[in-house]
A = this chain, B = another copy of it.
């Protein structure tokens, strides 16, 4: 698109902002002009925070949650129950479950859900590393905390089959969460209850 706001710098900032999901060209321009109106420190702080975050944040080698190098804050916390591992789709779900204060164990972030339609195969996800983690004998219980959608159920079943020969208890979130809803929009009370009432995984549930 030919913007020509008489400033290449503004054009560039608008173009970069418009690459963010859910931010169109008009919103990007509004945000850029807002930053120009505010004192310079606001824009500097935002720009630097984005750069420093991207430079400094990496992924935990054990659970694949975000960390600032090495183990993440949860894996490195000696007060957590290391023998219970909660399997989640992404980092946002770790945050969502942490907010309920009902899970005291560790996590395993898959990085997505199996979805043949979107071309996401089991090998694209952190499933093999979960199997290794369980096979090492350090885990008593795996809590499957994936969204109650078709992709979530498929992934649950795949992981269940992969772990079924290993001496580990496999549980799944209680169906207190409304089926068809995304995990991140579930209220904390319901989500907390569904962690407390987790049930053994049964085929053809």
The interface of chain A, by Cβ under 8 A from chain B, is 4-10, 12-13, 15-17, 19-23, 27, 29-36, 40, 42-57, 65-68, 72-74, 90-92, 95, 98
Contacts and interface: CB of A to CB of B under 8 A. Distances in A.
B47 A51 contact: yes
A73 B6 contact: yes
Given A19-B42, A22-B30, A47-B51, 17 more contacts: A5-B66, A6-B73, A6-B74, A7-B56, A7-B57, A9-B57, A10-B53, A10-B66, A13-B52, A16-B45, A20-B46, A33-B92, A36-B66, A43-B51, A46-B47, A47-B48, A50-B50
A27 B23 CA distance: 10
28 contacts: A4-B98, A5-B95, A6-B67, A6-B72, A7-B53, A7-B66, A7-B67, A7-B68, A7-B73, A8-B68, A10-B53, A13-B52, A13-B53, A15-B49, A16-B45, A19-B42, A20-B35, A21-B34, A29-B92, A29-B95, A33-B90, A36-B53, A36-B57, A36-B66, A46-B47, A47-B49, A48-B51, A50-B50
A57 B12 contact: no
Given A5-B66, A21-B34, A31-B20, A51 B44 contact: yes
